[in-house]
Amino acid sequence: MSRIITYRAALREGLDEELARDPNVVLIGEEVAQYNGAYKVTEGLWKKWGSRRIFDTPISEAGFIGMGIGASMLGVRPVMELMFWSFHSVAFDQLVNNAACVRYMSGGLCHCPIVVRGPANGGTGVGATHSHIPEALFAAFPGLKVCAPATPADAKGLIKAAIRDNDPVYVMENTLLYGMSGEVPDPAAGDHLVPLGLAEVKRAGSDISLIAHGRSVIHCLAAAETLYAEHGIHCEVLDLRSIRPLDQDAILNTVRKTHRAVLVDESKPFGGVSAMVGMLIQEHAFDALDAPIQRVCSLDAPAIYSPHIEHEQLPSPRRIVAKVLAIT
């Protein structure tokens, strides 16, 4: 049993359920309380749960992320909202040098069950300093877990799984998905969790694999529709969902099935998620390939301010279709 709700509402529902389930869960960030969140993800939660569970912070990412890490080491489960993931650099030492390393450096005596969430995307015309896509950057550090939900159901299931995890989990959302609607299981049907590290085939196919995460999954599904309708090409769309841990088996299984792959990734091509996925395929499924691996990434330049030109900089169904036709 499921309902149609927005990505934003699914995140809110997941947060609300975890606040009810565990009294140690708190929401912390800029404007998350009385203002209902910069993107209205936390709308109504402060009124329901009060200032002991949901509270605003000064505009100081280094300060409140550091506070959340310290609180998590003492048994609190903070969910920290960054208004933009681009502001990660202000708190980089805390996010990487502290949160990622504390369990290892303490010999397993201290855990850091913190969630940091917020939008990590381009495409909204807010310029280069507000449009970073840092999932590959954080996935490069052992000790951190990173996920990027593409659908409302995954947004809810992943945020709930992230809150329950004993390691730091960084959830990369997308402002352009917040208003997108989709099926989400009804709470009456039971707890909806999406395990970290488990990819999902969003569309089965036999001719080529489109491997993506986040909003790029939506572009892949649109491209797959066009390719089937206009060219009779059956695309399989694999949604990674988690970047770290990465579902290596799912990646290799789809490539061994279709023998071709296009990797779609909104981050820049140099050292991006798709570069890692491509290397995994080369190492473990090279003999299964009938054509070179292709990638569709953002063009390798700072985010362009002009909305029309920025649209051309990002992955799109048109660019994905062109890559598929080049190798089929």
163 within 8 A of 194, measured Cβ to Cβ = no
DSSP letters spanning 205-253? -SSEEEEE-THHHHHHHHHHHHHHHHH---EEEEE--EEES--HHHHHH
Cα separation, 13 vs 312, whole angstroms: 34
112 within 8 A of 77, measured Cβ to Cβ = no
228 within 8 A of 317, measured Cβ to Cβ = no
Query: For the packed helices 7-21 and 152-164, what is the interaxial angle rounded to 10 degrees?
Result: 30
Catalytic residue among 61, 236, 266, 310: 61
Query: Can you list the positions of beta strands (E) in the chain?
Result: 2-6, 25-29, 54-56, 77-81, 115-119, 145-147, 169-173, 181-185, 200-203, 208-212, 235-239, 242-244, 261-265, 294-297
* Tokens at 191, concatenated: 């707890």
Catalytic residue among 88, 130, 132, 213: 130
Instruction: Judge residue 92's burial from the number of C-beta atoms within 10 Å of its C-beta, 0-12 exposed, 13-18 middle, 19 or more buried.
Output: middle
- DSSP category for residue 293: -
Q: Catalytic site residue 231? A: no
∠ CA 128-133-139 to the nearest 5 degrees?
145
SS3 292: coil
Annotated catalytic residues are: 61, 130
